[in-house]
Structure 1
Amino acid sequence: MIIPYTDISPDTLTNLIEYYVLREGTDYGEQEMTMADKVLMVQHQLQSGEVVIVYSELHETVNLMPRQQFWQQTAGQPDYN
């Protein structure tokens, strides 16, 4: 189930994004980025809809993932919740 980022308090959203950034350990190219820059980049991706917040009832977890990846995992069916 996709959770709109606007339904999450700003502090909780920031903590979720920071956890995601630390867990992913993504390579951001030649130039190292600060944590604040990485968080801002993910916030922009959430606002544009490129990244979504997903809640798994089965696992009782929350995760961030690219929208396209979410749709592939759900057999291309939009989440109407």
Structure 2
Amino acid sequence: MIEIDYHLLSEFAVENLIMTLLTREATDYGEEEMDFAQKKQQLLTRLEQGDAVIIYSAEEGYCTIVPVEEKQKWLSQEKAIA
């Protein structure tokens, strides 16, 4: 697994990644339910502020956005599997 700097991706690619994640995963956004646009903006803001990172696994063909606190856990998963 590798971390991908979102700045290296086009705005279109980042937006599509966020939309894909929001439609494929049920994510908890706290006590209040947020609409799709709010969830999308929250993920984008977290990327911009460095609070979240994009992780890609070539082995699994999987890309996701994770909180920066969980980055090491995600990156070490592939090493443990290998």
Q: Distance in 1 between matches of 2:5 and 2:41?
A: 17
Code of the aligned partner of 2:40: V
Q: Which residue of 1 aligns with 2:33?
A: 32
RMSD: 1.7
Same amino acid, percent of matched pairs = 32
TM-score, normalised via structure 1 length: 0.76
Q: Which has the higher helix share?
A: 2
| Aligned-partner SS, 2:27 | coil
Give the total of aligned pairs: 75
CA displacement at 1:30 relative to structure 2? 4.7
Code of the aligned partner of 1:13: V
Structure 1, unmatched stretches of 5+, are: 76-81
TM-score, normalised via structure 2 length: 0.75
Q: Distance in 1 between matches of 2:74 and 2:5?
A: 18
